[in-house]
Amino acid sequence: MEYIPGQIHESFQKIHAFEMREDFNIPILTKRWNEANLLDDDSTLTLVVSKGDILTVRFFKPNTNSTSYTYIDKLITNGTEHNIMSECTLSREFIVNNTQNNVLFLHVTKQYERDKKIESILS
């Protein structure tokens, strides 16, 4: 599914990387946020992430009056990248609140960008 930011500031459209501090199940959508019926079992799948995995995400707003939600770009497990490319039901506020004191997420965007830059130089 292609990333569509909606009405959100540019800084939230950039890739953000978060390391998982605990095992967690993330509900991802099989359709776009505004097309999904969240009460229907066919609208969501479960992405199982483990402690130490890295999620790369961007944020989007399905409409101007709603909160910002998360688009999961990739899941990195033991150095292996898996393209997820799906919207999910986690709000940006949930991620921010669970990043404080490194409860569920650890913000590692600068480290992720540095590693990508090193990889591009070496290849």
For 1-123, strand residue ranges (E) read: 16-20, 24-29, 44-49, 54-60, 69-77, 80-91, 105-107
DSSP class of 13: H
- CB 25 within 8 Å of CB 53: no
Q: Is the pLDDT of residue 1 over 90?
A: no
User: Which helix (H) or strand (E) element contains residue 110?
Assistant: helix 109-122
Q: Which tens digits make up the pLDDT trace of 73-120?
A: 999 999 899 999 999 989 999 999 999 888 899 999 999 999 888 888
pTM over 0.95: no
In this structure, how many other beta carbons lie within 10 angstroms of the beta carbon of residue 37?
A: 10
